[in-house]
Amino acid sequence: RGFHHPDVKPNRFHARPKYPVKKYMCLGLYWNPVDYIYYPVIPDTNMKPFPIPDFFLSFCETLKKKMKLTNDFFPEAVMVNFYTQDSSMGMHIDKDEEDQKSPIIGVNFGSTCRFLYEDEKGVTQEVRIPGNSIYVFGGPARLMKH
């Protein structure tokens, strides 16, 4: 149930898939990179992912109040990616969740990273996210390619 990298095989999404992050962990729900579906248990093991820690749930409530977010969202899943110097995440849209109105909350522990996204014109833009910071994208940006 800790950090792992599944043996991803060709599937309906990719002829030669490669999950670019060497290690990741799911909390609350398990996101399976083989079929892009969230599960309450880890396939093949039937083990439940670790629960979302109370401090993170409390943090989300505080963030929701500070940002004056009006929708009634609560975190269902947390994806923890462990990036090394040679790893990255490919451009994608977070559309596999049932609730696509709630914002994406990212926490960057460690050093500064590049965050790439496509603007309204389809042009790739870059933002530097400082280490030990939080970023949130919701509303129309919730479904942006990044």
- 41-97 pLDDT, tens per residue? 988 788 898 999 999 899 888 888 887 776 677 788 888 877 777 767 778 888 877
Task: Decide which of 38 and 86 is more confident.
Answer: 38
Given this model, what pLDDT does residue 61 score?
85
Rounded distance between C-alpha atoms, residue 5 and residue 83, angstroms = 12
Given this model, what pLDDT does residue 53 score?
92
Given this model, what pLDDT does residue 9 score?
59
Given this model, what pLDDT does residue 54 score?
94
Task: Look at residue 34 and tell me whether its pLDDT is greater than 60.
Answer: yes
Helix (H) or strand (E) holding 54: helix 54-66
Rounded distance between C-alpha atoms, residue 11 and residue 81, angstroms = 22
pTM above 0.75, yes or no: no
Indicate the residue type of 84.
Answer: T
Beta-strand runs (E) in the chain: 23-27, 30-32, 37-39, 78-82, 104-108, 113-118, 124-129, 133-137
Work out the percent of the chain whose per-residue pLDDT is above 90: 13
Given this model, what pLDDT does residue 115 score?
86
